[in-house]
Amino acid sequence: MLSLQLLPASPSSSSIRFSAPFNLISRTLKPHSSRTRFRTAAVPVQSVLQWNRKPQLAGETPRVVVITSGKGGVGKTTTTANVGLSLARLGFSVVAVDADVGLRNLDLLLGLENRVNYTLVEVLNGDCRLDQALVRDKRWSNFELLCISKPRSKLPIGFGGKALVWLVDSLKSRQEGCPEFILIDCPAGIDAGFITAITPANEAVLVTTPDITSLRDADRVTGLLECDGIRDIKMIVNRVRTDMIKGEDMMSVLDVQEMLGLALLGVIPEDSEVIRSTNRGYPLVLNKPPTLAGLAFEQAAWRLVEQDSMKAVMVEEEPKKRGFFSFFGG
């Protein structure tokens, strides 16, 4: 089982260190070859979270990030909610846009479903102002939610990518100040809703799970994003189970990265607390004490701020014990 230790990183800073009883070995992938080579030295699993400094924001603001996958049910909305609140807790202003027209769920995961009175459609129709449609989270005032439309409502004929481009331009010029992050929760599929969601984005986070159906859809979406001019694409591998990887019943993160060829933003372990937090409308990153999945989302948000990535590691398999009769073929 995992243990949590408090270790001083330096005389003027502190850190939380995660350690696990198994070892990891890194694997370096060769181009044009599926063969791998291994380092001989095994290192313990250690993931350090620093709270004594604020991450340095890279890139020009606002950074418009679309969170997509192609396949449904892989955790796009969960990632948007947890990464968005993690960015707000780090001190950045965030606007999360639920771009799913008829099946919006982001307000449920954030616990804000009873406060959504106006949507972007009412703003475009002139029924309300943009600041009235933005729902500010009471827990973190620098986090705001905007839904495109209400459930069971029909979008106007002219609604498309230009509407989200207008939204981004309006957020840039508003009196309260331009948000530093605009996160767009993309709907599943690659139809008109997908095209609308990716139009204003300049970077993307691709959420996938280590199964062949998700990887095929993720590969297709990667090509569509690159065709649209989005080159900064990072991926989050969700619902990873180490026990199944050891038993060769699930592809490892290294296999996923080798197949998609994308920079790795985060690895989210399978966690039953996700269902509880979803039903309560309370994101994982706000849980006390923190869960493994919540810490992984916080690390992914930290890397997103600094436009950084992580290296995939492989769990070292335990050597099988050989008995006396094994020498005779038994």
Higher-scoring residue by pLDDT: 151, 264: 264
Q: How far apart (Å, rounded) are the C-alpha atoms in residues 127 and 125?
A: 6
- 132-183 tens-digit pLDDT: 999 999 999 999 999 998 876 666 645 789 999 999 999 999 988 999 999 9
- 185-215 tens-digit pLDDT: 999 999 989 999 999 999 999 999 999 999 9
- 207-252 tens-digit pLDDT: 999 999 999 999 999 999 999 999 999 999 999 999 999 999 999 9
| pLDDT of res. 295 | 95
| pLDDT of res. 322 | 55
Cα 164-68-252 angle, rounded to 5 deg = 165
| pLDDT of res. 71 | 93
- In the predicted structure, residue 291 carries a pLDDT above the cut 90: yes
| pLDDT of res. 298 | 95
Token pair for residue 90? Answer: 């780090």
Q: In what order do the strands lie in the sheet with 94-98?
A: 135-136, 143-147, 94-98, 181-185, 63-68, 203-208, 232-240, 263-269
Place of tokens 């400094």: 53
Q: How far apart (Å, rounded) are the C-alpha atoms in residues 206 and 76?
A: 8
| pLDDT of res. 4 | 40
Place of tokens 């995961």: 109
CA dihedral 285, 290, 294, 297 (to 10 degrees): 80
| pLDDT of res. 23 | 37
- For 257-277, what is the mean pLDDT? 94
Q: Mean pLDDT in the chain?
A: 83
- In the predicted structure, residue 263 carries a pLDDT above the cut 60: yes
- In the predicted structure, residue 22 carries a pLDDT above the cut 70: no
- 269-284 tens-digit pLDDT: 999 999 999 999 999 9
List of domains in the chain? 63-306 (3.40.50.300)
Tell me 185's DSSP state: E
- 61-92 tens-digit pLDDT: 999 999 999 999 999 999 999 999 999 999 99
CA distances from 323 to 149, 247, 316, 319, 328 (A): 66, 21, 22, 13, 10
| pLDDT of res. 42 | 41
- In the predicted structure, residue 27 carries a pLDDT above the cut 60: no
| pLDDT of res. 96 | 98
| pLDDT of res. 329 | 52
Token pair for residue 259? Answer: 């197949």
| pLDDT of res. 159 | 75
Residue 50: pLDDT band with limits 50, 70, 90: low
Q: How far apart (Å, rounded) are the C-alpha atoms in residues 107 and 185?
A: 11
- In the predicted structure, residue 16 carries a pLDDT above the cut 50: no
